Amino acid sequence: MSERVVVVTGASSGIGRAAAKAFAARGDRLVLAARSEGDLHQVAAECRGTPLIVPTDVTKRADLEALRDAAVAEFGHIDVWADTAAVMAYGRFEDVPAEVFDRVITTDLLGSANVARVALRQFRDQERGTLILCSSLLAHITAPYMSAYITAKWGLRGLARTLAQEARETPGIKVCTVAPGSVDTPVYTSAANYAGFVGRPPPPVDRPERVAAAILRQADKPGREISVGPANRFIEFGFTALPRVYDVLVPPMMRRFGLSREPVSRHPGNVFGPAKRVEGGPGRPTWRQVTAVATGGVAAAAVLSQAVRRLSSS
Amino acid of residue 280 = G
DSSP per-residue string spanning 228-244:
E-TTHHHHHHHHHH-HH
User: Which alpha helices (H) appear in the chain, and where do they start and end?
Assistant: 14-25, 37-45, 61-75, 98-105, 111-126, 147-167, 187-190, 208-220, 232-241, 243-253, 287-313
What pLDDT does residue 294 have? 47
What pLDDT does residue 165 have? 97
DSSP state of 93: G
State whether CATH 3.40.50.720 applies to domain 5-313: yes
138/155 Cα distance (integer angstroms): 11
What pLDDT does residue 114 have? 98
- Residues with pLDDT less than 50, the chain: 285-287, 289-301, 303-304, 307-308, 311
Residue closest to 7 by CA, chosen among 189, 165, 132, 174: 132
How many Cβ atoms are within 10 Å of 220's Cβ, its own excluded?
11
Do residues 73 and 31 touch, judged by C-beta distance below 8 A? no
Q: Any idea what the Cα angle at residue 178 is, between residues 21 and 83, rounded to 5°?
A: 60
Spatial CB neighbours of 107, under 8 Å, sequence gap ≥ 6 = 58, 59, 85, 86, 87, 152, 271
307/314 Cα distance (integer angstroms): 11
What pLDDT does residue 3 have? 82
Where in the sequence numbering do the catalytic residues fall? 149
The pTM of the full predicted model, rounded to 2 decimals, is 0.90
278/186 Cα distance (integer angstroms): 6
What pLDDT does residue 309 have? 55
How many Cβ atoms are within 10 Å of 17's Cβ, its own excluded?
28
184/203 Cα distance (integer angstroms): 10
